[in-house]
Structure 1
Amino acid sequence: MNTQNRPTGRRGRAKQDKHERIMRAAKALFTHHGINGVTTQQVADEADVAIGTLFLYASTKAELLIMVQNTKFAAAIDDGLTAARAAAPSTDARHDAVSTAMALLRPVVVCIREHPDNGRTYLHELVFGDPGEAHRAEGLALAARLETGIASILDRTEPDITPERAALLARVITAIVHITTTASVFSELDDDTILADIRRQIRASVDGTTPSTPQHPIERPQP
């Protein structure tokens, strides 16, 4: 049995146990009720810890959500990177780049949209919260890992794209994912529709041209 990451000593084990109980409680409550339907006291009660103890692990409800979402986000990125490595090569480099990028992004998009309010709040907190806070710093590191993965795909599959442009396009693509997955106007749409729209935007960004099919797959509200 691998015990490398297990805490040693009674105090360390007790701390780890409380952390795991808080994570399980927060995950269950956020999944069933969303961030707006949960209080920190409810999480503390569900985890069977005092509210003061809870605040030692996360000082706000937003930080609790970030803790939970970081775990899901990390798993989604792992799944996406595995899928991207397994993506079959194509004779069309641009098709290969877009398809491989979408293989990476699909589990990430599904993760963000699993509970729209949670995903929207999570990304908002990463962008606008204190980057020095530990849980946000972890989330930002995950976002950077995703961006690096996209840049690597573009650099590897697009011979005309320099590493510098690949890195810039990766930032553009992550912004596309952020906006398209969290915009309230798109919240009722299914994952496949959102993913199809993201694919079109990525193709336009990579090609530097307007997609051949001008109709946008998402019907936006008329003014």
Structure 2
Amino acid sequence: MRTRTVKRKAQQQQPPAAQPDTGLVAPAGRREQNKADKLRRIRAAAYDLFTTGGFDDTTLRQIAVRAEVGFGTLFSYASNKRDLLFLVVTDDLLEMNRRAFDNVPTDIPLLDQLLYVWQIFYTFFDMQPTLARLTLRELNFYSEGEQARKIYQGRDAMMARLTALVTAARERGEIRTATADARIARAIFAIYSAEVRRWIGDDNRDMASGMVELRQLLRLLITGITHPVGNPDGGSTAAV
């Protein structure tokens, strides 16, 4: 009896036999890994085709073939071609926004703070001008798709950070107008938004001249057109 009891306990303590992998249901870890790998391939394929063949001439089917995924699989990641473009760039854009505003110096005038932020943006776009032109073009009326939600959340966060810079400048005595800080921030962003598109569209652009022109326009906003501004090139561009 003792021998049978010991044998029965030993059997109970043994781990259950491994079940054969039928391939019907992948473990959760493997599913996530496969999904991440597909996303990586789709982003790489879209980037390559958009920057070499052009956004307008590239088809979703071409991207699916290059990424080696089913055509329908694309729609698990993006709802249309424009959404797919932003799938390529959204994470980098959001990280750039965060990094620019997290590191802006607090002990310099508002104008230099703005140039510090926008120089990071200019540098980011200058590293991949073809993709930047596509992105900035398509951003104008981008309102549909999963990536659109992330883009607009990121823009709202950026405008909040920009408004905070304006508010801090007001508290330092740099701003005396009664105009709301959020509206001033919108004006600042409007100048940047138009100017960065003009600058990135120039094949002969350079960072120094781009920053000088942006400085002059922002300085005009800050000082106002009814007051003399002295030397329009005065001041230094904050280094990144």
TM-score between both structures, scaled by the size of structure 1? 0.74
Instruction: Specify which of 208, 215, 221 is matched with residue 224 of structure 2.
Output: 208
Judge conservation of contact 1:116–1:182 (CA < 8 Å) in 2.
no
CA distance in 2, matches of 1:163, 1:80: 28
Letter in 2 for 1:20: R
Count of residues in Structure 1 that have an aligned counterpart in Structure 2: 201
Residue 83 of structure 1, CA deviation: 3.0
- Distance verdict in 2 for CA 1:167–1:69, change over 3 Å: same
177-186 vs 68-77, which deviates more? 177-186
Q: Which residue matches 1:165?
A: 180
Q: Is residue 56 of structure 1 aligned with residue 55 of structure 2?
A: no
Separation of aligned partners in 2, 1:31 and 1:104: 26
1:125 deviation in Å?
Answer: 2.8
Instruction: Kindly report the root-mean-square deviation, in angstroms, between the aligned alpha carbons of the 2 structures.
Output: 3.0
Report the Cα distance in structure 2 between the residues aligned to 1:121 and 1:148, rounded to whole angstroms: 25
In structure 1, what is the equivalent of residue 210 of structure 2? Answer: 194
Q: Contact 2:133–2:200 at 8 Å: present in 1 too?
A: no
Alignment partner of 2:194 out of 169, 179, 197: 179
* Secondary structure, counterpart of 1:49 in structure 2: coil
Letter in 2 for 1:19: L
> Quick one: structure 1 residues 192 and 83, their matched pair in 2 at CA, closer, same or farther if it must change by over 3 Å?
farther
Of all paired residues, the percent bearing the same amino acid is 25
Structure label with greater radius of gyration: 2
Structure 2 partner of 1:109:
122
Report if aligned partners of 2:78, 2:146 keep a CA contact under 8 Å in 1: no
Shift of 1:98: 0.8
Give the conservation status (yes or no) of the 8 Å contact 2:133–2:201.
no
Partner Cα separation in structure 2 for residue 111 and residue 42 of structure 1: 27
How much does 1:135 deviate? 0.9
Where relative contact order (Cα < 8 A, 6+ residues apart) is larger, the structure is 2
Aligned position for 2:102: 82
User: What letter corresponds to residue 207 of structure 1 in structure 2?
Assistant: T
The alpha carbon displacement at 1:132 in A equals 4.3
Contact 1:26–1:64 at 8 Å: present in 2 too?
Answer: yes
**5+ unaligned residues in a row in structure 2: which ranges?**
1-26, 234-240
Structure richer in helix, relative to its length: 1
CA shift in 2, pair 1:37/1:191, >3 Å = farther
8 Å contact 1:76–1:107 — kept in the other structure?
Answer: yes
- One-letter code aligned to 1:106: Q
What CA deviation, in whole Å up to 9, does each residue of 1:133-152 have, x standing for no partner?
22112112222222222211
Q: Distance in 2 between matches of 1:142 and 1:33?
A: 29
Equivalent-residue separation in structure 2 for 1:114 and 1:178 (angstroms): 18
